[in-house]
Homo-oligomer: A and B are copies of this chain.
Amino acid sequence: MSTSPVDIARTASLASRTLKAVSGADRNAALTAVHAALAKSQDAILEANQKDMQAAQKLIDAGKMRQSLAKRLFLSQSKWDGMLEGILDVRDLEDPVGKVTLATKLDDGLDLYRLTCPIGVLLVIFEARPEVIANITALALKSGNAVILKGGKESTNSFSAIAKVVSEALASTAIPPGAVQLVETREDVSALLDQDQYIDLVIPRGGNELVRHIKENTKIPVMGHADGLCAIYVHSDADVEKAAKVVLDAKTDYPAACNAVETLLVHESAATTVLPKIASTLLQAGVSLRCDPVSKAALKSSTLDPAHKLILQEATDQDFDTEFLELTIAVKTVSGLDEAILHINAHSSGHTDAILTESKETAESFMNRVDSAGVFWNCSTRFADGFRYGFGTEVGISTNKIHARGPVGLEGLTIHKYQLRGNGQGASDYGAGKRAYLHQKIENVEI
C-alpha cells in the first residue's frame, strides 16, 4: 500500500487514467470478482468486525460511546448478505459511461459528440458502517472512477479486512492497482484535501459539521448534503385522511433519516379542520408536537382527546430551524401558500419539501417556487431516496446547486467529454463568405 497522502493521491490519479479506458464488461467482471472474494472471506471479515465490536464495548462501558453507534458498527449476517447482494445489484445497472448525450453535425464530415465519462478520482469520507465500503467501491468501479476511502475510525478493523480482500480480488482483473485505496487517519484526510491536482471530487457522507469543515479546507469540489430539514405544508383544501397518513409516514417511518419531516406548516383555515386529525395520529404514535400559539389554540379548542391536549408543547423560534431526527415535530400556522413558501425557502435545508392540497394549481405553484432538491405533492418526504427513485442505488443525497442535486446515483459520478471527428477542417474555413456551420442534430448515433 502507498504511504504518504501525496503518493496515495498520485497513485489514484494514475490508476484513474487507466480505469477510464477499461470497458464496461471488464468493470463488471471486477465487481463479480470482488463479490466472490468477499463471499469467500466472510469468516475473516466478520472476525475483524468482532474486534471492532469488542473495542466498542470497552468504550461503551467507559461511557465514551453511545450504544446506537455500536449497532451501526455491527456487521450482522443480514447486513453482510445485503452488502454482497448490493455489489451485484450495482454491477447489473446500466453502464453510466460512454453514453452519447449530444450529437451534432457541425458540417459534412465534422461531427460533434458529447459522451459521458468518469470524473476521475473520488475521495469518499463516510461513517462507521462497515458495509458502506463495499457499496462505495462498487459505485466507484462501476462508474470508472478511482476512489480513496476513509471510513469512521470505530470500524478500522472491519474496513482494513474488507479493503484487503478487495485489493487482492482486483489484482486479477483489468482494474489497475491503486484504483481503490483506504486511508485510516484524519491526518491523511487533511493532507488529501490539499491534493486538488489529483483528486477531482470529495464526497463527505456525514453531518452538517463534517461537510462544512471539508468545504472550508479544500479547493476540490465537494458533493455532500448538509442536512435534511424537511417541511410539509398542509393547504386549506388538504384531504384529512391523506394528510394524517402522509405526515405520520414522513415523521415516523424512520425519524433519524434526512428525509423525515421536521416542520409542519398549516394553513390557518386547516388548523381547525385538518390539523386535529394529523395531531391525534402523530400523538398516538408517540410524536411530540411543538406548536406555535395559533395551532396550539386551535388544537386546544378542537375535539382532540383531552389527554393529547395536555401534552402539546410550545414551539420556540429555534424549533423551526432544528433537524430533530427523533419523534418531535414543530407546527406553525401560516396565512396561506405564499407564507408557507417564504418560510420553507428561508428555513428548509433545500432537501425535500411537500405540499398537501387537492388543487393542482396550488401544487404547481408550490413545486415551482419552493427552491429545494425535492418538491412533493401529496406524498411523504420519505420517498426522497435513490432506491425509491429507481436509480438502483445512491451515493448520497445532494443539496448542492450544481452538478447533482437530490438523490445521486451513478450518473452523479460521471461528467462528459466532447469528441469532434473531422477530416482536416480548420476554424478559419468558416465565417463570412466561407463555409457555414450546419448545427444539425445527428439522429442515429453510430460511433
Residues of A within 8 A of B (CB): 17, 20-21, 104, 106, 110, 112, 114, 119-120, 196, 200-201, 212, 215-216, 219, 221, 223, 239, 241-242, 245-246, 248-250, 253-254, 345, 363, 365, 367-369, 371-380, 382-385, 388-390, 400-403, 405-407, 415-430, 437, 439
Return chain B residues, CB-CB under 8 Å to A112. Answer: 389-390
A388, A418, A422 — most chain B CB neighbours (10 Å): A418
Distance to closest chain B CB from A123 (angstroms): 13
Known contacts A216-B219, A221-B221, A405-B416: A249-B428 contact under CB 8 Å:
yes
Partner of A253, one of B367, B417, B421, B427: B427
Return chain B residues, CB-CB under 8 Å to A373. Answer: 417-418
Contact A418 B374 (CB under 8 A): yes
Contact B110 A379 (CB under 8 A): yes
A215 to B197, CA, bound (A): 13
What residue in chain B is nearest A387 (Cβ atoms)? B437
Partner of A376, one of B114, B223, B246, B420: B420
Known contacts A106-B388, A428-B249: A201-B423 contact under CB 8 Å:
no
What residue in chain B is nearest A390 (Cβ atoms)? B439
What residue in chain B is nearest A249 (Cβ atoms)? B426
Contact B390 A426 (CB under 8 A): no
Q: Is the interface of A mostly helix, strand, loop or mixed?
A: mixed
Known contacts A245-B424, A415-B401, A426-B246: A17-B345 contact under CB 8 Å:
yes
A110 to B354, CA, bound (A): 14
A430 to B253, CA, bound (A): 11
A223, A250, A375, A402 — most chain B CB neighbours (10 Å): A402
Partner of A106, one of B114, B390, B423: B390
Contact A420 B253 (CB under 8 A): no
Return chain B residues, CB-CB under 8 Å to A380. Answer: 422, 425-427
Distance to closest chain B CB from A362 (angstroms): 13
A284 to B212, CA, bound (A): 56
Contact B426 A405 (CB under 8 A): no
Distance to closest chain B CB from A169 (angstroms): 25
Partner of A368, one of B21, B345, B375: B21
What residue in chain B is nearest A405 (Cβ atoms)? B415
Known contacts A417-B373, A424-B239, A424-B241: A201-B401 contact under CB 8 Å:
yes
Contact A390 B437 (CB under 8 A): yes
7 further A-B pairs in the complex, CB-CB below 8 A; given A379-B421, A382-B427: A20-B369, A106-B388, A110-B379, A120-B401, A376-B420, A379-B425, A405-B416
